[in-house]
Structure 1
């Protein structure tokens, strides 16, 4: 077990919850809830689970689900912009929805589209839907996301948010073995304040952050 929070490197964390499979901790500084790294799946085990997902651009329900992030993000951008879908998975769909609105979208996924060249550019917006909770090293991966965005650009996230210990104990979201980092509104406010971002919570699981220009 690491002796620091994997997001902010604070040593101020404590037990938060434990079930039959995993032990969870909560940072007292950035409020991230995270699992004991001893519980991490191997890369092959993780990919095998992702390959079972049946998300497809032809799935009307999936498109409706993603519209909850596509619509508010599009409204923030008055003209055609260039973006990156980070963690697009095996069936990229959000990128197609945004391209239908006139934007250009590159793809990156460590398992399915490991295009390192896409990470050497900066973008007007970056989307990361149902992916941030999979981050094993959120300090590194969060820094990477921020570095990809131009000043004034947008980071659009979709992830379920931690509320409190009682709700967490009954939360189905934690039961996915690939979910290892759990964010809350407090966590995103901490990151926004630290990293020069404006944050807006859209509904229960969509977070829009804008990188300040100065």
Structure 2
């Protein structure tokens, strides 16, 4: 059970902080064409690299520690949510912003009362996908080097050909994935009631 809780903490901290970071950077970058192009071009270079290849490099920087596992999850979640947030912002009808300007809303008011509410449904849908993929990244990162977690258990179970333990590890990862998806579904129900 401590390994399950460890994986859960890596996932929640990494995906939560990374998701917020990616979304806020996208929201800020979207306000300036220059920033959007700069950050977008940097991310295009990083985005073509498969996430599993990035894991060893992040583990070298963060080390095979609990913090390293959270950093791996944060990096992946931030990159994913940045893309979802930019896409959601581009899908906000231009008329919404124009109406805000006609009503003498400041730039900050347009961001907080027009853009953020408009992107929430699409962003939460992207968060569900990001959470599921981040869980896989966390388990692989734990497998490659972690003091605890489902991935570490799987590493030893595979080396000793313990099929039962492998199945139990996969089941726990599945339970965490389903529970996370259900929790985000409930959050979507609260924050996007109008959908």
Q: Which has the higher helix share?
A: 2
- TM-score, normalised via structure 1 length: 0.26
Larger radius of gyration: 2
Return the TM-score normalized by structure 2.
Answer: 0.27
